[in-house]
Structure 1
Amino acid sequence: MSITPVEQLFTVFNETALIIQEELSCTYLEALAETGENIFQESILQSDELSELTVKRLKKSYDSIRISDFSKEDIRKSFQLAILKGMKENVQPNHQMTPDAVGMLVGYLVDKFVPEKSFRLLDPAVGTGNLLTTVMNQQPTKNIEAIGLEIDDILIKLSYVNANLQQHPIQFFNQDSLEPLFIQEADAVVSDLPVGYYPNDVRAAEYEMKADQGHTYAHHLFIEQSMRHVKAGGYLFFIVPNGLFESEQAPKLHEYIKEYAVMQGLLQLPQTLFKNKNAAKSIFILQKKGEDVKPPKQVLLVNLPSLSKTAEVEKILGKIDGWYKENK
């Protein structure tokens, strides 16, 4: 039975991460970041802390592959599988990875709406870098510089290793994305928004969407922060909860969007992708207001079928195509 490149690479990531995890008594995800860095640097960076036998075992496993023989997508998928394995052991609710099919769809939309050959892309909640690199991999002929922000130390380390292995030019900032940012303006934003309340009321008070009382929704603040750091006319692609406009803070969001942006589309993702109805999400497309920005004749509203139904998905993509030609 032949083994796929993804399986082959996953086996190396997994085996070597387990060896490092055991020897250094760290978590699987920490070990995965270490082993990914070793593969990228082509040396065993922890050799001072490891036994001679362990170094030999690692070397044997690393020597079984050449990372340059693998495509960016194969690297991304195999690293993602290893991350998912690590997350199962140590689950935190806001560390959910964006499903691949959704990443592909966001990549398709970015490719459509941002036809420029060179542009700057921002993900203010980059996590492990999976969504950002999925989007970049789908546009191999474009020259994309990316910026990723992430508060979690482990996730940003995985993100950085992930980007290095795939040879993507991404700048990473390890910080609370809702604090002041010192980054260049982006042409477009993609983000699977962290949902929930933002605990820092003092910082939230600096945003137009701050709640009148109690904590403000973090996902609202992420939308506002993204809007501040994207150029006039730039597009924003957010993965948002389906109930985005039904919360008690929704009127603030409505007001804000009306003032600063033009709504281009809302694509409801198939229920089958999510564990339960309450977890279901949509892709929300906004365009920041600017001189030549006109609202579309009608907003692109799509209910996506199950993504395994290829013919139905093709039909929807045709519909999106038609809408784009008519409105752009």
Structure 2
Amino acid sequence: MSITKLENTFSLFDTTANIMQEELQCTYLEALAETAENLFHGNVLQEELSEVTKRRLEKEYNKLNINALQKEEIRKGFQLAILKGMKEGVQANHQMTPDAIAMFMGYLVGKFTSHLPQISLLDPAIGTGNLLTAVMNHQGNKKQEAFGVEVDDLLVKLAYNNANLQEQSISLFNQDGLSNLFVEPVDVVVSDLPVGYYPDDQNAENFKLRAAEGHSYAHYLFIEQGLRYTKPGGYLFFLMPNFMFEEEEAKIVNEFIKEDAYIQGLLQLPLSMFQHKNYAKSILVLQKKGIGVQSPKEALLVNLPSFSNLQAMEKIMGQINKWFEK
């Protein structure tokens, strides 16, 4: 993707969001959701805007034909605008999966499901939809049905506009991702695990991985929730913090996973991607047990090099491809 095209796409979102933010006296992210809605519908929907502002917006919208852009071009431009908005007033739960990781997870999903003609996907903590749409964009012409759950109203709105502009069909649910979901079990669960304590102790009682006392860890509960909504033989791809297997309760999580699933892979991301080694993450790949599902002879254990080191990445990709051939 050319830099200028990305700049132009970002500029379209950014300029129009700024115009709208000024007049509507809202946050940048709220204005971004509004402008994305306009782009999708092809006109200015906000009746409270002045005629002058409406004309200014239309002039900007006419500078770039959004329908002529590729899905990934739209996703990346929108993602940059969201990142800008998050820097302004970020809440702890408003974090976005880095692009290289989202695309790599898309590659892994493609590899593990290459035998399936079509797949259903679920992200129980979809956020802005960046991870799920990146994964979907990397599945070629495979038929897909997708579901996303998010408790935060604004993030759901951004995910909804994100999916619409990329013409990706995703059923979105604005609810707690750990409550009862109106979703049939899927072939693939992908999630950038929300890390920290889960505040709803009453709902946590429904989970085996709840804490014996006090608040439970959300990242544990989301693993259990993911397995509940995966078909037998289906795959789960979790972006998880490295410290997760060092916590005191890690043994219980390991035992729980072993009961229900096989660990297919653990791919440690390069430390250079994270501000501090305490924030470092890995991709955990699980396969839910089922009839005819066997444990892999050996799991795919990889320490990934920096994504910008092309030679090292090529070598690792060669090793990963060999593992799949086996």
Give the SS at the match of 1:94: coil
Paired residue for 2:105?
106
Q: Aligned-pair distance for 1:70?
A: 0.5
Give the SS at the match of 1:243: helix
Paired residue for 2:301?
301
Give the SS at the match of 1:92: coil
Larger CA deviation: 223-232 vs 94-103: 94-103
Give the SS at the match of 1:253: helix
Cα separation, 2, equivalents of 1:123 and 1:3: 30
Paired residue for 2:262?
262
Cα separation, 1, equivalents of 2:177 and 2:154: 16
Cα separation, 2, equivalents of 1:51 and 1:3: 34
Cα separation, 1, equivalents of 2:290 and 2:260: 9
Q: Does 1:84 align with 2:73?
A: no
Paired residue for 1:36?
36
Paired residue for 1:157?
157
Paired residue for 1:66?
65
**Residue-by-residue CA offset, 1:119-142 (whole Å, 9 max, x unaligned):** 101101111111111111111211
Q: Aligned-pair distance for 1:3?
A: 6.5
Q: Aligned-pair distance for 1:106?
A: 0.4
Paired residue for 1:51?
50
Cα separation, 2, equivalents of 1:258 and 1:137: 31
Cα separation, 1, equivalents of 2:12 and 2:61: 7
Give the SS at the match of 1:308: coil
Give the SS at the match of 2:26: coil
Q: Aligned-pair distance for 1:76?
A: 0.3
Q: Which amino acid aligns with 1:73?
A: E
Does the CA contact (< 8 Å) of 1:260 and 1:288 recur in 2? yes
Cα separation, 1, equivalents of 2:104 and 2:62: 35
**Residue-by-residue CA offset, 1:144-184 (whole Å, 9 max, x unaligned):** 11101111111110000000000001000010011111112
Q: Which amino acid aligns with 1:325?
A: E
Cα separation, 1, equivalents of 2:240 and 2:259: 20
Gaps of 5+ in 2: none
Cα separation, 2, equivalents of 1:94 and 1:274: 17
Q: Does 1:207 align with 2:203?
A: no
Q: Which amino acid aligns with 1:149?
A: V
Paired residue for 1:248?
248
Cα separation, 2, equivalents of 1:68 and 1:272: 36
* Pairing of 1:174-185 with structure 2 (within 5 A): 174-185=174-185
CA RMSD, aligned part only?
A: 1.0
Cα separation, 2, equivalents of 1:65 and 1:172: 28
Does the CA contact (< 8 Å) of 1:117 and 1:141 recur in 2? no
Q: Aligned-pair distance for 1:196?
A: 0.4
Q: Which amino acid aligns with 1:324?
A: F
Q: Which amino acid aligns with 1:175?
A: Q
**Residue-by-residue CA offset, 1:161-212 (whole Å, 9 max, x unaligned):** 0000000010000100111111121111111000001111111111011111
Q: Aligned-pair distance for 1:275?
A: 0.7
Paired residue for 2:125?
125
Q: Which amino acid aligns with 1:277?
A: K
Q: Identity percentage over the alignment? A: 59
**Residue-by-residue CA offset, 1:273-326 (whole Å, 9 max, x unaligned):** 111000000000000000111111111110011111111111111111111121
TM-score (norm: length of structure 1): 0.97
Cα separation, 1, equivalents of 2:211 and 2:10: 45
Cα separation, 1, equivalents of 2:159 and 2:306: 29
Gaps of 5+ in 1: none
Give the SS at the match of 2:190: strand
Q: Which amino acid aligns with 1:244?
A: M
Q: Which amino acid aligns with 1:14?
A: D
